[in-house]
Amino acid sequence: MTKEIILTGDRPTGKLHIGHYLGSLKNRVELQNSGNYEPYIMIADTQALTDNARNPAKIRNSLIEVALDYLAVGLDPTKSTIFVQSQIPALFELTAYYLDLVSVARLERNPTVKAEIQQKGFGESLPAGFLIYPVSQAADITAFKATVVPVGDDQEPMLEQTREVVRAFNNAYETAVLVEPKGYFPPKGQGRLPGLDGNQKMSKSLNNAIYLSDSEEELQQKVMKMFTDPNHIHVQDPGHVEGNTVFTYLDVFDDDQARVRELKDQYRAGGLGDVKIKQYLFEVLNKKLTPIRERREEFAKDPAAVYAMLQDGSRKANEVANQTLAEVRAAIGFNYFG
């Protein structure tokens, strides 16, 4: 049986948080270990440059942090090809060809891009590279002829734009070189984890995240500051679990859902304090994160080996992307010299 090809990745703008783990990292590891897929995992440093062009040190310093997080959660370089986007020149040429098949108006309508532009507050200073990054993502995906892309729910518009590029290219040049990808999404309700402050999204920029590398002490401090029910002032007061971030996390991370239901009933009835449920959540999260934290610390002892792994992965990824690029050039008719 032919293995399906996976392409996925993250921007190196800091360490990864538990929202990343829940949204896609966990799925990547499961797919990798199933034996039915050939995963390519990209550290998207070029994409990160679209809104960090004047701070490249941030990206360089974050590269190994993301790589360590990948290894810590269980991504295995003997099973997955982990590579660096900027080291694959074919991706840039593919992006240039695809840009001629996409209108500016279509890019501006992409709901994911629109939301991110608003969040970052670019205004009239929107970098052209940021606007066209869905086309760059299409190049990333199609270079490896990926059939499966593990992403969060909010990335479906990006995948649809890739499929549009694939159809436009194949129709324009009467070929079947490019492959349409499908998304692989987290279970319902686990695609987006709210921030510690109750904000609808956990993110580095909002400073409301728990990182995979957080120490036990840091984790406890963050959990004890989490948003709950602002009207639950006294222990005996009835409380709300809907919109209560602590219970949202318990719904996702606690394997003992019968226990979570009991805690919810107690909280609604009154008599269960916020400190107690936060302490319980800390214990649940710490149990999940301790093995990840320990593996990360081990890999961090040999950064040279981590960089060597990325170099080996980039070398392999280059070979695959160059083959696709040769096929794309031939389809266009740019193979003048054989």
- Closest by CA to 220, choosing from 186, 194, 252, 196, is 196
Give residue-wise pLDDT tens across range 136-182: 999 999 999 999 998 877 788 889 999 999 999 999 999 999 999 99
As a whole-number percent, the residues of the chain with pLDDT over 70 amount to: 98
Q: How many CB atoms lie within 10 A of CB 263?
A: 20
Give residue-wise pLDDT tens across range 288-332: 999 999 999 999 999 999 999 999 999 999 999 999 999 999 999
Residues 287 and 309 in one domain: no
Residues 168 and 312 in one domain: yes
What is the CATH classification number for the domain harbouring 225? 1.10.240.10
Question: How far apart (Å, rounded) are the C-alpha atoms in residues 17 and 19?
Answer: 5
Instruction: Provide the residue range defining the domain that includes 232.
Output: 216-297
C-alpha 248: how far from chain center: 20
Residues 188 and 150 in one domain: yes
Least confident stretch, 31-45, 183-197, 237-251, 252-266 = 183-197
Task: Note whether residue 337 is domain-resident.
Answer: no
Residues 76 and 113 in one domain: yes
What is the CATH classification number for the domain harbouring 141? 3.40.50.620
Residues 179 and 308 in one domain: yes
Query: For position 189, what pLDDT does the model report?
Result: 58
Query: For position 205, what pLDDT does the model report?
Result: 75
Task: Note whether residue 205 is domain-resident.
Answer: no
Question: How far apart (Å, rounded) are the C-alpha atoms in residues 317 and 311?
Answer: 10
C-alpha 231: how far from chain center: 34
Give residue-wise pLDDT tens across range 94-148: 999 999 999 999 999 999 888 888 888 898 899 999 999 999 999 999 999 999 9
Task: Note whether residue 148 is domain-resident.
Answer: yes
Residues 66 and 153 in one domain: yes
Residues 61 and 104 in one domain: yes
- When the pLDDT of each residue in the chain is averaged and rounded to a whole number, the result is 93
Q: Residue 1's pLDDT band (boundaries 50, 70, 90)? A: very low
251-274 mean pLDDT:
95
Counting the structural domains of the chain, the total is 2
Residues 60 and 83 in one domain: yes
Residues 31 and 134 in one domain: yes
Query: For position 22, what pLDDT does the model report?
Result: 81
Q: Taking the alpha carbons of 13, 18, 81, 328 in that order, is the dihedral positive or negative?
A: negative
- Closest by CA to 306, choosing from 83, 3, 117, 16, is 83
Q: Inform me whether the pLDDT recorded for 185 exceeds 90.
A: no
Residues 67 and 19 in one domain: yes
Residues 130 and 258 in one domain: no
